[in-house]
Amino acid sequence: QVQLQESGPGLVKPSETLSLICTVSGVSISSYSWTWIRQPAGKGLECIGRIYRSGSTDYNPSLKSRVTMSLDTSKNQLSLKLSSVTAADTAVYFCARDALLWAFDYWGQGTLVTVSS
């Protein structure tokens, strides 16, 4: 059974860096691509970017200058860093498996990150 679990600080100060981890179980992260999505309260879904099993990345141009994604195959984890955050980055952050033809087939439950001083 594939499971994903996001973790990280729930509160980040403006101008600082948001850092999240997604721990994957039931499958090797080296076998698939993975994606991060966020959702502000009461709003829609936005893809932040994805990381291929090779470790190469594809970021949303709207966030590209501030985003870094990486894989830790030894821990079966993926990470997201978003720098210079503002209140507009307050959202629930999800990780999901990008199964190519099969779309985003497994999701974590999401973690709320609030940007506030």
List contacts with other proteins (CB under 8 A). 35, 44-47, 49-50, 58-62, 94, 96, 98, 100-105, 107-110
Closest to other proteins by CB, 35 or 79: 35
Q: Residue 50 and residue 108: Cα distance in Å, rounded? A: 15
Minimal distance in Å, beta carbon 6 to other proteins?
10
Q: Residue 41 and residue 74: Cα distance in Å, rounded? A: 34
Minimal distance in Å, beta carbon 31 to other proteins?
17
Query: Residue by residue, what is the 3-state secondary structure of 49-75?
Result: EEECCCCCEEECCCCHHHEEEEEECCC
Closest to other proteins by CB, 44 or 116: 44
Minimal distance in Å, beta carbon 58 to other proteins?
5
